[in-house]
Structure 1
Amino acid sequence: MDDKTILSIIDKFSSGTMNELDFSDGSVHLVLKKGGTGAAPAPAAESEASVRLGLPVNSVPAAGEDGETITSPIVATFYSSPSPEDPPFVKPGAKVKAGETLCILEAMKMMNHLEADFDCEVLAVKAQNGDLVEYGQGLFQVKRI
């Protein structure tokens, strides 16, 4: 299955009313889930090998701590920087503007840039570079600014 077909499936799923899709064609197994109250917009293609996640960043109040937890919208490999030689996108104490990249989530050989939905200060990074992260897993503890 090619990237265009996968993006088409994601687009139809995102604009539809289904909350979960489990699809397999023999060579690819695709699981899509929606969280929250509404449909998420489809990812916008950046290049054949990379898309920016158009999915909402799931943030929930963190019990006992200031701020909110930004969670992973997909099952993927977490990368804190664009390459092993580069510094991380964010570190604790960093102030981030809405739209800035927090990390890269690699799924199905697609590099997805997880961007901040709001201006915030990073209190903690909860995943290690190269970790496999689950849907809904906390990635960043942040405080809105």
Structure 2
Amino acid sequence: MDRKPTESTTAIWVLLNIAHKRVTQTFETELRRAGLPPAAWYDVLWGLEMYPDGLRQNQLERMSLFDQANLSRTIKRMVEDGLVTQIPAPEDRRGRILSITDAGRALRLAMWQVYGPLMISEIEHKVPKGLAQGLVDGLQSLVPEFDKVEP
């Protein structure tokens, strides 16, 4: 392949990764300071809360930042902590359906008390209002299957 990415494409790649790293570090620091689990746990709980009938692990993996091995370890820990349940999938018995528990909902809400204000200070206050929707649209084009974005 002789074709190179455009300057804009390269800038998007670099800035997307740097922005992700900086925002994630800030979120992790503040959650730790509040005595809460890592941001990835919030992502799992949020994903499961959006689907009250539960999700298969591979579905959750597609909508999170986890690779399969890390997600499996995290889910195991969250099940042990009573935040998530795992039941055999009725259609194949090898797969598992994951669901959030009441304790998981309570933890997600506690994490949201840190997470929500950070989203405002680290994203909403920094991205000019006139650019926000364009940024959302551009990112949505990278992950079109991810159409549920709610807190």
Whether TM exceeds 0.5 here: the answer is: no
TM-score range, shorter chain: under 0.3
TM-score normalised to the size of structure 2? 0.23
More strand by share: 1
Larger Rg: 2
TM-score normalised to the size of structure 1? 0.24
